[in-house]
Amino acid sequence: MLIDRFVDGKAHNYTRQSLSQITKPRSARIVSRGRTPSPNHPMQTYPTLRSSLSLYLLVLPTLFLLAIFSFVPVMMAFYNSFYEYEVGGERTWVGFQNYIDYLTADPTAMVSFVNMALLTLMAIVIRLTIPLVVAKLIHTLPNERHRYLYRLAFLIPTVVPVVAVQLIWGSLILGETGLINTLLENLGYEDLAHGWLSDPNTALIALACIGFPWITGFEVLIYYAGLSNIPESVHEAAQLDSATGIKKFLLIDVPLVLSQIKLIFMLVLINGIQGFELIFILTQGGPGFETYVPGLWMYENAFSFQKMGYASSIGVILFVVIFMLTLLNMKYFKSAEDMQGQ
Amino acid sequence: MRRTPYLQHSLLLIGVVLTLVPFYFVISNAVRSNNEIFRSPFGFPQALTNMVSFTTLSLTGRASEISYVVRISVDDEIVFETRRDGYKAAMRAQWKIMTNGYIYAWEVLRGYMLNSLLVSLTSAVGVLLLGSISAYVFARYRFPGSNILFYVIISVMMIPGILTLVPSVQLVTALDLRNSYTVLILPYIATGQVFAIFVLRSFFRGLSEDLFDAARIDGAGHFHLYRHVVLPLSLPSLSVIAVMNILATWNGFMWPFIVNSDQKYHVIASGLFNMTTGPIADNYSAMFSAYVLASIPLLLLFVYATRPFIQGLSTGAFKA
């Protein structure tokens, strides 16, 4: 073990401390291997700046790209939100006026936040339940081949571009001559058939129903991973306590896949608040302002009305909402995991 | 002996059918003529039915009876009518109906497909390269500021796209990058590498120190350790990251749609949306064919990558 320290050619980097670690009993070094880098590592002992220059150079491309496409835009977003200006026009410092205008005087703010909340809530309820139940159903199958085939089948739609799926739902299923209306006509409910996305009363609910039966292969796989990690002994113990069926699922499986539930919850929540692609493609916020969401209004302000400052302030507000909910969620779910005794 | 779980199978099969029904109609409509789709969007392709009956006739020795009238109508007015006699000619006419939409769609889609392929593959390679190098540096070395730098990079995962969308567009406009491949590829690498660094760093840390010691005894340098020890061991994680990045880039719509005004630089997602507002929009057959064509590259990717992908995800390669 000692020899390779010196064939490594970096021996000059070792301080007295690291040499003493090398000569420590091996068991002691194994114990110290954990989340921190193992102490017998060559670069462990804070080399001088000169010897770590190559390391800085190696992470430089990463940092450079992040600076241009993340850090600078973040700063610009905050900075611009305090100005009123149009593309190519003059900048005027307006302080918090953009925020105040949006939150108090913008006629779209209320309806779009309500829409966002409803769509997000519905998405969360759906995607925390249906893929989990499907994953559980697959997981209980005794035949490994069947389990694989079902996972594969639910994954197939992933190959269709998301935009194509959205356009297909808009025309083939919810359109005037779409599947829903054809079914209704054949069943004798002609009067119910109409353009689901163009009727103000049904546009929002139609958007929420897109993707039925909402069995996303990706989410099924993540829940399935969680279910697979539950030790068999837990189920055997539950069997002894004569827990069966739904009760066992709710009391044993659900708490033990909580970290997967947390992951999906966060993804759906963040996407629900910032996502406006589906609405942009299918309704453009219409009819009227029925299906507007804040993200779409930000897009319109920036790229249709050229009100960059105002758009930036909407972006910042959405960021703050996401940030607060993320913090709340981390706090809440941590306590839930503590309760499991992890 | 466990009994067959009929209840689970029937529920799952209902789920599979409901999930796949829309895609069945897309595939079927792609080989139907516009007239057929206009009459009913949910029928079985007439051309296929015809082909089956022609083949039956020809196999039963009644090929001479086959004749097929090709009618091309615009607004219910027949503008062209011709007769195809004999098995081969009639079959060719059916084939033409079936491929008609695809030919139109391919004309429009070809450029978008090539752009998407280029952008997805280049950015996936970039993400893997930058992500694995940075993850390796942060996992195996410590240098002044290494922890701070790492948390600065990871903090990007907390920045939602909605915050940076508008200023990013302003920035690339100011840098005169719009309408180029650079503006399509670099942002995807910039944001995609963060998750890769996050996942790979913890994976690289978990690798046994003995492996590195053994390689060092053999005289391996830093690059050698990275290239011949770390990378081969992390192939499963790398391939899942690659697939996820390709999926994300292939589906990316808003960014390419906003930053490109030139048709030349549109990708699949923005291109498909542009098609619905373009002259091809009324050509339903071509639209459905375009959806099918746009799905083929990812289908091919999945044929090769599904097994490691399902297994990687199912065994919890990525936990929250």
Q: What spatial distance separates the first Cα and last Cα of chain B, rounded to whole Å?
A: 37
Contact B276 A167 (CB under 8 A): yes
**CA dist., res. B271 & res. B249, Å (int):** 14
Contact A108, A292 (CB under 8 A): yes
Contact B47, B102 (CB under 8 A): no
Q: Which residue has the tokens 């490994």?
A: A144
pLDDT of amino acid A329: 85
Q: What is the mean pLDDT of each run of 10 residues along chain B (320 residues)?
A: 79 95 93 86 88 88 80 70 82 89 92 95 96 93 89 92 94 92 94 93 87 86 86 86 92 94 92 87 90 94 80 57
Tell me what the pLDDT averaged over chain A comes to.
83
Contact B30, B23 (CB under 8 A): no
Nearest CA in chain B to A143: B4
Q: With an 8 Å Cβ cutoff, is B82 touching chain A?
A: no
- The answer on A177 and A311 residing in a single domain is yes
Least reliable range by pLDDT among A18-27, A271-280, B44-53, B99-108: A18-27
Contact A182 B219 (CB under 8 A): no
A185 within a domain of the structure (yes/no): yes
- The answer on A95 and A216 residing in a single domain is no
Contact B60, B76 (CB under 8 A): no
pTM to 2 decimal places: 0.86
Of A70, A153, A172, the CB nearest to B190: A70
Q: What is the torsional sign of CA A218, A222, A227, A229? A: positive
Q: Could you tell me which residue, A21 or A263, shows the higher pLDDT?
A: A263
Contacts of B273 (CB under 8 A, 6+ apart): A163, A167, A281, B253, B257
pLDDT of amino acid A5: 36
Contact A178 B41 (CB under 8 A): yes
- The answer on A77 and A9 residing in a single domain is no
A40 within a domain of the structure (yes/no): no
A45 within a domain of the structure (yes/no): no
Contacts of B66 (CB under 8 A, 6+ apart): B54, B57, B58, B85, B86, B87, B90
- The answer on A292 and A144 residing in a single domain is yes
CATH of the domain at A214: 1.10.3720.10
Q: In terms of residues, how long is chain B?
A: 320
Interface of B with A in 88-147 (CB under 8 A): 130-131, 133-134, 137-144, 146
Contact B144 A46 (CB under 8 A): yes
- Residues of chain A positioned with their CB less than 8 A from the CB of B149: 59, 63
Q: What is the torsional sign of CA B237, B127, A165, A222? A: positive
Which of B39, B129, B133, B143 should be substituted to probe chain A, the one whose Cβ sees the most A Cβ atoms within 10 Å? Answer: B143
- The answer on A252 and A155 residing in a single domain is yes
pLDDT of amino acid A67: 95
Please give, rounded to a whole number of angstroms, the shortest distance from the CA of A264 to a CA of chain B: 9
pLDDT of residue A25 exceeding 50: no
Q: Identify the domain containing residue A90 by its residue range.
A: 53-99
- The answer on A245 and A121 residing in a single domain is yes
Q: Which residue has the tokens 């086959």?
A: B66
- pLDDT band for A89, please (50, 70, 90 cuts): confident
pLDDT of amino acid A245: 78
- pLDDT band for A339, please (50, 70, 90 cuts): low
A41 within a domain of the structure (yes/no): no
Q: Encoding tokens for residue B218?
A: 């053999």
b/e sequence A81-115, b meaning 16+ C-beta within 10 Å: bbbbbeeeeeeeebeebbbeebeeebebbebbbeb
Count of CB atoms situated within 10 Å of the CB of B251:
21
pLDDT of amino acid A85: 82
pLDDT of amino acid B318: 52
Q: Could you tell me which residue, B199 or A33, shows the higher pLDDT?
A: B199
pLDDT of amino acid B214: 87
pLDDT of amino acid B251: 94
Nearest CA in chain A to B288: A168
pLDDT of residue A28 exceeding 50: no
Q: What is the torsional sign of CA A163, A165, A167, A170? A: negative
Nearest CA in chain A to B187: A69
pLDDT of amino acid B218: 86
Q: What is the ipTM of this complex?
A: 0.90
Please give, rounded to a whole number of angstroms, the shortest distance from the CA of B138 to a CA of chain A: 9
| B316 phi-psi bin (left φ>0, alpha ψ -120 to 50, beta other) | left
- The answer on A17 and A62 residing in a single domain is no
Of B12, B217, B301, the CB nearest to A150: B12
Which residues on neighbouring strands pair with residue B83, listed in sequence order? B69
Strands A83-84 and B77-85: unpaired
Nearest CA in chain A to B269: A163
A151 within a domain of the structure (yes/no): yes
- pLDDT band for A49, please (50, 70, 90 cuts): low
Q: Could you tell me which residue, A51 or B28, shows the higher pLDDT?
A: B28
Per-position DSSP letters for A52-63, written without gaps between them: THHHHHHHHHHH
**CA dist., res. B81 & res. B73, Å (int):** 9
pLDDT of amino acid A102: 93
> What are the two backbone dihedrals, phi and then psi, of residue B55, each rounded to the nearest 5 degrees?
-65, -40
Which residues on neighbouring strands pair with residue B69, listed in sequence order? B83
Coil, strand, or helix at residue A93?
strand
- The answer on A156 and A285 residing in a single domain is yes
Within chain B, what is the greatest distance between any pair of CA atoms? Answer: 86
A47 within a domain of the structure (yes/no): no
pLDDT of residue A35 exceeding 70: no
pLDDT of residue A74 exceeding 70: yes
Q: Residue B232 class from Cβ within 10 Å (0-12 exposed, 13-18 middle, 19+ buried)?
A: exposed
Q: What spatial distance separates the first Cα and last Cα of chain A, rounded to whole Å?
A: 36
Contact A281, A163 (CB under 8 A): yes
Coil, strand, or helix at residue B73?
strand
Contact B209 A38 (CB under 8 A): yes
Q: With an 8 Å Cβ cutoff, is B168 touching chain A?
A: yes
- The answer on A143 and A157 residing in a single domain is yes
Contact A4 B138 (CB under 8 A): no
Q: Give the domain-ending residue among A99, A129, A154.
A: A99
pLDDT of amino acid B206: 86
- The answer on A117 and A9 residing in a single domain is no
Q: Give the domain-ending residue among A80, A99, A118.
A: A99
The mean per-residue pLDDT over the stretch A167-182 comes to: 90
- The answer on A274 and A198 residing in a single domain is yes
pLDDT of amino acid A91: 86
The mean per-residue pLDDT over the stretch A101-130 comes to: 94
A281 within a domain of the structure (yes/no): yes
Please give, rounded to a whole number of angstroms, the shortest distance from the CA of B229 to a CA of chain A: 16
Contact A155 B162 (CB under 8 A): no
Within chain A, what is the greatest distance between any pair of CA atoms? Answer: 88
Contact A1 B213 (CB under 8 A): yes
- pLDDT band for A335, please (50, 70, 90 cuts): low
Q: Could you tell me which residue, A231 or A220, shows the higher pLDDT?
A: A220
Nearest CA in chain A to B293: A160
> What are the two backbone dihedrals, phi and then psi, of residue B202, each rounded to the nearest 5 degrees?
-70, -30
Task: Name the percent of chain B in helix, strand, coil, to the closest 5.
Answer: 75, 5, 20
Please give, rounded to a whole number of angstroms, the shortest distance from the CA of B101 to a CA of chain A: 16
- Residues of chain B positioned with their CB less than 8 A from the CB of A68: 171, 186, 190
- pLDDT band for A6, please (50, 70, 90 cuts): very low
Q: Could you tell me which residue, A262 or B312, shows the higher pLDDT?
A: A262
pLDDT of amino acid B112: 95
* Beta-carbon contacts below 8 Å between A and B: 284
Contact B156 A70 (CB under 8 A): yes
Cα–Cα distances in angstroms (integers) from residue A142 to residues A16, A187, A218, B139, B317, in the given order: 59, 39, 22, 40, 23
A112 within a domain of the structure (yes/no): yes
Q: With an 8 Å Cβ cutoff, is A224 touching chain B?
A: yes
Coil, strand, or helix at residue B72?
strand
Q: With an 8 Å Cβ cutoff, is A4 touching chain B?
A: yes
Please give, rounded to a whole number of angstroms, the shortest distance from the CA of A228 to a CA of chain B: 7
- The answer on A211 and A139 residing in a single domain is yes
Contact A88, A308 (CB under 8 A): no
Among A175, A291, A156, A196, CA closest to B287? A175
pLDDT of amino acid B289: 95
**CA dist., res. B231 & res. B238, Å (int):** 8
Q: With an 8 Å Cβ cutoff, is A154 touching chain B?
A: yes
Q: Give the domain-ending residue among A65, A99, A133.
A: A99
- Report the domain count for chain A: 3
**CA dist., res. A106 & res. A297, Å (int):** 10
